[in-house]
Structure 1
């Protein structure tokens, strides 16, 4: 199967307290599901390279990087906001999480594989140009997209964000960037309670109310995403893959099921097939109910790889 699975042991050492929902148990649940389903035997696991400061500076300020270094504790935790803390390992893990997307770009655009799933922690899509927030320190998908544009001289990429929370950091970084188009939906009003108004022309992020279900989300994908994706003809697709829109996940109040994440992925892959030819890179964001997270990731990876979801 032409799909790789990118992860690193450091991702399990970043933690923000015993009761914090963004925990190492998330990766354990995903890896257990892939093993039990047999999917792990079909995927080549790859260790990511570490992002450099040059990589990060394409999408973040030097002030932001230095601030995180200065805040990193020798022991215990250092608070960034009420929900976001650094432990002594966090920053190193964040460099490798950002590097996972870069590693995926090199494998996919280097012709070694068609697609990649980056099982990373900490997540990234809330991290802004100059601010860490919402469990996020560096914007992993933005780092990867900027690297792909510069190193492989692509004229355009698209980012699909199906996390229940607005990918405000990604929008902050790429709003009005002519080479990056972002497509998403998110619960509103809800964390992080940010909306760009009027929206930049390259941003297709649709707010939905609590309780939005499969029918509503599929309408957004069919009506707003797919026609534009067919028109754009991107050479590379990125997914900010958050699974907290699942009905079992109490970190939001959306009502998707496992099969919806497979369907969204399949529809995007089909709409971009003629231009991207299956080249896609997915980076883990949210998803906090361990059982639904693990099942939904399996469905998503199978759809990335073009395997039939049962």
Structure 2
């Protein structure tokens, strides 16, 4: 059975009216994209996964390949997008997402946020499909408002090192809303806050994989600055549920999807040490340029419009993530 949509904008449980039979997920072989593909298949939809494998990996969706409802296509959406047949949902998740990745691939990041978004929107328009843009809490920059509601415009440095990602996503949002307002496209924006879980790359540079792999190896956990900067972490199962709740509504967003349980980066490192049983040290290193001081979503809209809120406790989520990393070949070897 496919995903239901209520044209009044109420959550699906309030009266399904439309079902998504076939979905396209750009960046579908990435960490978050692969979980979306899996969930859509489990919900009865056919799924076309588009990815150029710049930061995603075929291994993330290898377990889905035997399913006849799943199709994996190597494709750079910055160059073109062509999908034969009917499509009624387009989820645009193609983009480098970690600081290490978008600093290594700044032009790719800007291209997929601009040309890639343009092509994905064109596909949705051609197919008369619902479109959901994966935006990010990074559009808020180093916020001056805390927690961050959707009507906050942000504090972003467009020419700083993070600007290639921040501004790519801000442009993507503007483009999606232009298509909605000028062409009547059924487009929506989800602003995703720090998400973690199985299938993250050990070397992607984000705090949870970096801390976890260091702890498992007995190496120092490198905390930027004094570690007082805060983050709010959302388990991938919760994030996927929120994204698909928005897809299954008639709301345009933007809607924050994240966990409002805020913690300092130092506290996160200590929690991971505790859960791994590691006796590794904590090492304080220089803080990156434009590293946000605070980050916490206001999820009032998600609660009210979608009936969604996170359910996975940080301890349970970190435990399953640590177990996944611990099972990966070579993860205990020195970096």
Q: How would you bin the TM-score normalised by the shorter chain?
A: 0.3 to 0.5
> Larger radius of gyration, structure 1 or 2?
2
Task: State TM-score, norm by structure 1.
Answer: 0.37
